[in-house]
Structure 1
Amino acid sequence: MLEHLRVLDLTDERGLLCGRLLADLGADVVQVEPAGGSTARQAPPLPGTSPTTSMFWETYAAGKRGVAVDLDRAEEVARLRRLAGAADVVVTSWPRALLERHGLDPATLRAERPELVCTVISAFGWDGPKAAYADTDLVVWAAGGPLAPHRDGDLPPLRISVPQAYLHAAADAAAGTMLAVLARGTSGRGQVVDVSAQEAVGVATLARVLATAVGDDHPEWQTTPGQRTGRTDQSGSGAATPNSLKKWHCADGMVELHLSMGPAAGGFTNNLFAWLAEEGAVPEPIAAWDWKVLPERLVSGELTHDDLDEARAAVRAFLLRKTKAEVLDAAIRRRLLCMAIFDMADIAGSPHLEERGFWGQVDIGDQDVRIPGRIARVRGPEGPRVRGRAPLHGEHTDVVLKEWLGQP
């Protein structure tokens, strides 16, 4: 798909995914590393069997070629600028001050080649009041908005477990890069694709970020646990439902299960309580509830929130006796609004992902290792796929200099 495209990749762990996606689509992506190696090579997870091998690097640098550059040597910096001049696209997440010091910033590069597409990935954007702020994954989540509702009641927000704010940004950067390349085919001119990780995670949770714009400025997760607000969340899945009422423990893990009510989705909960009733796991009065009309019964006072808590307690005790597989099987057969929460072992062993060819196989050292594979399933040989393992440090320096610059 993108076999005609040369991409110079000046990213660290904050932007590797962008180049990986372009490489999967066929682009010749050359990953540039400083003399000491990319900091992404130390990013976890580090397998116990090979503590010097970063699976983060092996996954997100897969399919690229590698060039090493000593940024303290003027002749090597000049050579790097020549590589940028031979590229169709330059992608970077390096600090702005470093890029400007070496003449690798978008303004300098595009002054020499207006047709060049420069994609810049940063925490808060290339310019603006916060452009120079220091950041971490946690800082970006907090600044982008999604962290605030990631809590129960008035407890502090919970950190997103695996660093992924920049994965959102890098994926957006890949899409923006392809749009800029497409536009260049018409205009003949390149563009600067300026991707802010803060904006990327904000867009990823746009509904919650815009809640105050529609008057939802007092969501239930901001109240004291146990305090009744008078609001009844009929979906069982919205911001007005604490996470503790959507995530349930089962015998071997957790499931996502919504006790929905009202005419639109209450029937799913009726199906759930029919299952509980068959196994004698719920008192008869609760088993007879029609969750389609439950909101009216709560508003009238016929039922109370204490009654709801009793129903939830029955569900909680019931699920503790069921495995994820049993719950998922019942969800399919009985039409329940729930899903098993997969852990990494579940994903690695998923027959569904195996059948769809999700995994890519690469050689790392003397081992064949599976890594997350293609981004989309496209019929035919030209679809996205893992094109090869991640490069060793400076592995392709000589051949890239020969192919791109004509050096002997």
Structure 2
Amino acid sequence: MLLKGLKVVEFATYIAGPGAAGILADWGAEVVKVERPEGDPMRNVFGDAKSALTGNPTFALDNRGKRSVVLDISRPEGREALARLAADADVFLTNVRPAALKRAGLDHETLRAANPRLVYTLITGYGLDGPEAHKPGFDVTAFWSRAGVARMHAPKGQDPFILRTGVGDHVTSLATVSATLAALYERERTGQGRFVQTSLLATGTYVVGSDLAVQLAYGRLVSNRPRSDPFDPLANFYKSRDERWFVLNPRGGASDWPTLAAACGRPDLPQDERFATGRARKDNNKALVAELDAAFAEMDFEEIARRLDEADLVWAPVQTPAEVAADPQAAAAGAWVEVEDGQGGAYRSPAAPALFPGALSSSRPPFPGLGQHTEEVLAELGYSREEIEAICGVAAA
């Protein structure tokens, strides 16, 4: 396992923080998830008693293979136990707001004073400075909306729409893993840990950074446009006769245009003066979309796919989640991992998006029950049976 021996203490809830620690766990790190007595709220995401759904695949995705410890941080004993965990760790990862961490004596200055090799990673909504740094943030607020991502994706004149679950969080998880590993690499050279900070807001601005670079340079940016009135009609969505959507994304310049026209059964289109040049195609974009709509509507999807592939054009089907789950190419690309269900079976779950051939197990352990490993982990820290009973509030088994 790549990160075998790396000790990570996660004091985080919801998705961005647990997702980052979950990737580290997938790659072999030993992750102790510290939860308050009420547990991570994501444990209850499918907690509606009226629902026919069973299990909790959303929570399982970010928490498989971890050990769970319950500590009441409102009590001195709980705070002391968490500090002792951090003193024995390589990484302390949290998304608790800094003011609360400071009050509990769990801020980076305090924990790194006790463990100078500690990499202390903090995830926030809006960063650590500025008049609104203290605000709580979720990915739909700080990443999707405040960072401008929602506005850039909604075509001009259309209402903004809600982000799907955890999208901004999981991108922030990836950024957080990268930053944490960079700090660990630095520690290998210097012997010293450091404070690392990521935010949903800064991650969002980087995700749409290609467009924001234009905004910063020129003070303006072209809006997203509807399918019928695209900026480039060749890079657009189209539908087959059997009503399956696909997207075209030709290579730069005009080199793919004659090939695409031939593939859709209209080799005459590049000779039409309305579509002969890039400028002409932009000026007559609605007309060209109509022509391509009509051409592709004459063919079933399988025929379109065959023609586009034979022409070596860049395209992809617009798949439903069910189609993605059944896509053999997604499986071949390493998109899924087998996770033990704790009952002798296993199920598929999304994998962390990197492959290390031969280095990682083909399956992952299940996610832990709330506080499942509290006594075990505290005993490893040197707590006596009586001390564990006092911290847990119950007799140790």
TM range (shorter): 0.7 to 0.9
The code of the aligned residue for 2:255 comes to A
TM-score between the two structures when normalised by the length of structure 2: 0.84
Alpha-carbon distance in structure 2 between the residues aligned to 1:127 and 1:399:
39
Over 3 Å counting, the alpha-carbon distance change for 1:108 and 1:219 in structure 2 is same
Residue 370 of structure 2 aligns with which residue?
Answer: 393
In 2, distance between residues paired with 1:62 and 1:335?
40
Contact kept? 2:149, 2:205, Cα under 8 Å: yes
Q: Partner letter of residue 12 of structure 1?
A: T
CA distance in 1, matches of 2:327, 2:337: 14
Q: Is 1:266 paired with 2:257?
A: yes
Indicate the SS of the match to 1:148. Answer: helix
- Give 3-state SS (helix, strand or coil) of 1:290's partner: helix
Change (3 A) 1:300 1:129: closer
Q: CA deviation at 1:18?
A: 0.6
Choose the corresponding residue for 1:364, options 334, 338, 341.
341
Q: Mapping of 1:307-326 within 5 angstroms?
A: 307-315=287-295, 317-318=297-298, 322-323=300-301
> Matches of 1:47 and 1:23 in 2, distance apart?
31
> Equivalent residues in 2 for 1:285-324 (5 A)?
287-290=267-270, 296=276, 304-305=284-285, 307-315=287-295, 317-318=297-298, 322-323=300-301
CA distance in 2, matches of 1:262, 1:357: 33
Q: Which residue of 1 aligns with 2:392?
A: none
Which secondary structure does the structure 1 equivalent of 2:329 belong to? helix
Residues 343-389 of structure 1 deviation map (CA, whole Å, 9 limit, x = unaligned):
21112112223345543222335453211235322222x33765311
For residues 114-163 of structure 1, what are the alpha-carbon distances to aligned partners after superposition, in whole Å with 9 as ceiling and x for unaligned?
22110001111133322112323221212112222212232223332333
Structure 2: how far apart are the matches of 1:250 and 1:111? 67
Judge conservation of contact 1:268–1:335 (CA < 8 Å) in 2. Answer: no
> What is the alpha-carbon distance in structure 2 between the residues aligned to residue 294 and residue 328 of structure 1?
27
| Corresponding residue number in structure 2 for 1:282 | none
Separation in 2 of the partners of 1:354 and 1:139? Answer: 32
Aligned partner letter, 2:66: K
Per-residue CA distance 1:233-266 (angstroms, 9 max, x = gap): 45744xxxxxxx4364763643223588952331
Counterpart amino acid of residue 156 in structure 1: D
Instruction: Write the distance in 2 (CA, Å) between the matches of 1:250 and 1:68.
Output: 57
Structure 1 counterpart of 2:269, one-letter code: W
The residue type paired with residue 59 of structure 2 is W
After superposing the two structures, state which structure 1 stretch, 368-377 or 39-48, moved more.
39-48
* AA aligned opposite 1:7: V
In the other structure, the counterpart of 1:123 is: 125
- Is 1:221 aligned to residue 224 of structure 2? yes
Letter in 2 for 1:110: R
In structure 1, how many angstroms separate the alpha carbons of the residues matched to 2:48 and 2:363? 21
CA distance in 2, matches of 1:74, 1:307: 71
Q: Which amino acid aligns with 1:339?
A: A
Query: 2:9 is matched by which residue type in structure 1?
Result: L
Aligned partner letter, 1:162: T
Structure 1 residue aligned with 2:9: 8
Q: 1:11 to 1:384 in 2, by over 3 A?
A: farther
Q: Is the 8 A contact 2:232 2:285 kept in 1?
A: no
How far off is 1:64 after superposition? 1.0
Deviation at 1:167, TM superposition (A): 1.1
What is the identity percentage for the equivalent residue pairs of Structure 1 and Structure 2? 23
For 1:148, which of 148, 151, 160 is the aligned residue? 151
CA 1:406–1:159: 2 relative to 1, 3 Å: same
* Residue of structure 2 equivalent to 1:83: 85
Partner of 2:380: 403
Over 3 Å counting, the alpha-carbon distance change for 1:247 and 1:63 in structure 2 is farther
- Report if the CA contact (8 A) 1:257-1:337 is conserved: yes
Tell me the equivalent position of 1:337.
314
CA distance 1:300–1:332, change in 2 (3 Å): closer
Judge which range, 327-336 or 394-403, deviates more.
327-336
CA distance in 2, matches of 1:292, 1:23: 58
* Structure 1 equivalent of residue 26 of structure 2: 24
User: Which residue number in structure 2 is paired with residue 281 of structure 1?
Assistant: none
**Deviation for aligned residue 1:99:** 1.5
CA distance in 2, matches of 1:65, 1:393: 9
Select which of 242, 260, 265 maps to 1:251. Answer: 242
**What is the Cα-based RMSD across aligned positions, in Å?**
3.3
Q: Partner amino acid for 1:401?
A: L
TM-fit CA distance, 1:168: 1.2
> What is the rounded CA distance, in whole Å, between the counterparts of 1:173 and 1:291 in structure 2?
51
TM-score, with structure 1 as normaliser: 0.81
Q: Is the 8 A contact 1:145 1:209 kept in 2?
A: no
Conservation of the 8 A alpha-carbon contact between 1:138 and 1:159: yes
For 1:249 and 1:108, the matched residues in 2 are separated by: 62
Q: 1 CA distance for matches of 2:111 and 2:363?
A: 30
329-338 or 387-396, which moves further after superposition?
329-338
In structure 1, distance between residues paired with 2:49 and 2:321: 14
Question: For residues 142 and 81 of structure 1, what CA distance do their matches in structure 2 show?
Answer: 35
Contact map agreement 1:46 1:52 (CA 8 A) in 2: no
The equivalent of 1:110 in structure 2 is: 112
- For 2:331 and 2:50, how far apart are their aligned partners in 1? 25
* Structure 1 partner of 2:391: none
Once residues 45 and 151 of structure 1 are traced to their aligned partners in structure 2, the CA distance between those partners, rounded to angstroms, is: 32
Provide the aligned length of Structure 1 versus Structure 2.
380
Cα deviation for residue 317 of structure 1 reads 3.2
**Match in the other structure for 2:390:** none
How many Å separate the matches in 1 of 2:348 and 2:11?
26
Match of 1:373 in 2: 351
